[in-house]
Amino acid sequence: MSQRLGRVTRVSVLAERFDSKDAFLADAQRYRRELMAHCYRMTGSLHDAEDLVQETYLRAWKSYEGFQGRSSIRTWLYRIATNTCLTALDGRARRPLPSGLGAPSSDPTADIAEHHEITWLEPLPDSPREHPSDPSVIVASRDSVRLAFIAALQHLPPRQRAVLVMREVLQWKAAEVGEAIGASTAAVNSLLQRARAQLDEVQPSQDDDLAEPETPEAQELLAKYISAFETYDMDALVTLFTDDAIFEMPPFDGWYQGPTDIVALSKTHCPAEGPGDMRFIATTANGQPAAALYMLNRETGAHEAFQMHVLSVQSGGVSHVVAFHAGDGSFAKFGLPATL
């Protein structure tokens, strides 16, 4: 009887707080950013994550009258978002980076080929309003969207991916995860064990000690990186990379390792011809330093959106760069103009 009265009381409180489904939906918007990150971890796509968050809110709005208040609104939304992602991922191929396709590093002087038929991993713009009073929360949030982690998650089947994210990132109990995805606690623990084992095989160890984007070291290296490209100083560029640095640029399927090969790639295939052809805007993506590249269009005289370079910065230099093609209005998602 007391449990029933408690449940009725919680529902009554919710009814008083949200006098309509629209009022509930308006209040639930405060969780949009974290739900976006959750759906991004599940899918590896900003565009898909945006659609899935919209679907999550639509499903929540439609089923709100059945919400009994046994969990928080936030937990309830995460359950809906997770199952929405699992439905969307059914039968879909994973989103890789070129270095995750299983091929060896490429010859930087060989021809390069675009592969738009592959659904590539996409970058995630950082929130401009992360709470500065709790650095530990910021770091944990950034770690969970690092490119290396998101790329590694793509190797997991969707249910393993969901369990790992909910247990390791959201810190849910196994029983809570099981209730959310319709599995027993034993099944959740088994899925988590397999996911951890698979992740240990594919996640690179070189990204364990990345510098935070606001640290002096990261900012200095990003500034030098931008300057080397803008002045077309390849001798300066080669000194910025670690010995085993990786450079890749989806939708091209090749990846390149080592400072010499990276610079040779730039000299061979970059459309820039000299100083001034490239301009950059420093930003952040996936909790990492990033630089938006604008390439000179010689016909119009304008610098146009070209690539988003997301850097992994460590004590020895730049260890990894993913140069994402600036397509489908991706610069606008970062609050950046299409031309300079």
Compute φ and ψ for 90, nearest 5 degrees: -60, 115
Residue 68 DSSP one-character state: -
Q: Same domain, yes or no, for 251 and 230?
A: yes
CATH code, 29? 1.10.1740.10
Q: What is the pLDDT along the chain (340 residues), one digit of tens a residue?
A: 444 444 444 444 444 445 567 777 777 889 999 999 999 999 999 999 999 999 999 999 888 777 766 678 899 999 999 999 999 999 999 999 999 999 999 999 999 999 999 999 999 998 754 444 444 445 557 789 999 999 999 999 999 999 999 999 999 999 999 999 999 999 999 999 999 999 998 875 545 688 899 999 999 999 999 999 999 999 999 999 999 999 999 999 999 999 999 999 999 999 999 999 999 999 999 999 999 999 999 999 999 999 999 999 998 899 999 999 998 778 999 999 999 9
Name residue, tokens 């969307």.
88
Distances (CA, A) of 70 to 19, 67, 188, 196: 19, 8, 21, 30
Residue 119, domain member (yes or no)? no
Residue 123, domain member (yes or no)? no
**Domain count of the fold of the chain:** 3
Residue 100, domain member (yes or no)? no
Which tens digits make up the pLDDT trace of 23-71? 777 778 899 999 999 999 999 999 999 999 999 999 998 887 777 666 7
Residue 107, domain member (yes or no)? no
Which tens digits make up the pLDDT trace of 122-136? 999 987 544 444 444
Q: Same domain, yes or no, for 66 and 174?
A: no
pTM score: 0.88
Q: Same domain, yes or no, for 290 and 229?
A: yes
CATH code, 162? 1.10.10.10
Residue 114, domain member (yes or no)? no
Compute φ and ψ for 182, nearest 5 degrees: 75, 50
Q: Same domain, yes or no, for 201 and 258?
A: no
- Of the three residues 92, 107, 136, the one that is the final residue of a domain is 92
Q: Same domain, yes or no, for 313 and 244?
A: yes
Residue 212 DSSP one-character state: P
Strands (E), the chain: 241-248, 255-257, 278-285, 288-296, 303-314, 317-325
For the chain, the distance separating the N- and C-terminal CA atoms, rounded to the nearest angstrom, is 67
Q: Same domain, yes or no, for 166 and 231?
A: no
Give 112-127 as a DSSP string: --B-TTS------BPP
- Of the three residues 169, 192, 209, the one that is the final residue of a domain is 209
Burial 50-73 (b: 16+ CB within 10 A, else e): eebbebbbeebeeebeebebeeeb
Segments forming the whole domain that contains residue 186: 147-209
Which tens digits make up the pLDDT trace of 218-241? 999 999 999 999 999 999 999 999
Q: Same domain, yes or no, for 232 and 181?
A: no
Residue 140, domain member (yes or no)? no
Q: Same domain, yes or no, for 198 and 224?
A: no
CB neighbourhood size of 262 (10 A): 22
- Of the three residues 209, 239, 263, the one that is the final residue of a domain is 209
Compute φ and ψ for 25, nearest 5 degrees: -65, -40
Residue 136, domain member (yes or no)? no
CATH code, 325? 3.10.450.50
Q: Same domain, yes or no, for 15 and 68?
A: yes
Name residue, tokens 């449990």.
3
- Are residues 95 and 120 in contact, defined by beta-carbon separation less than 8 angstroms? yes
Residues with Cβ within 8 Å of residue 266, at least 6 apart in sequence: 229, 234, 237
Distances (CA, A) of 42 to 124, 219, 329: 13, 30, 22
- Are residues 283 and 290 in contact, defined by beta-carbon separation less than 8 angstroms? yes
CB neighbourhood size of 49 (10 A): 23
**98 half-sphere exposure, CB direction, 13 A CA radius:** 26
What angle (nearest 5°) sits at the alpha carbon of residue 206, between those of residues 102 and 225? Answer: 100
Q: Same domain, yes or no, for 267 and 308?
A: yes
Residue 113, domain member (yes or no)? no
Q: Same domain, yes or no, for 255 and 198?
A: no
Q: Same domain, yes or no, for 157 and 250?
A: no
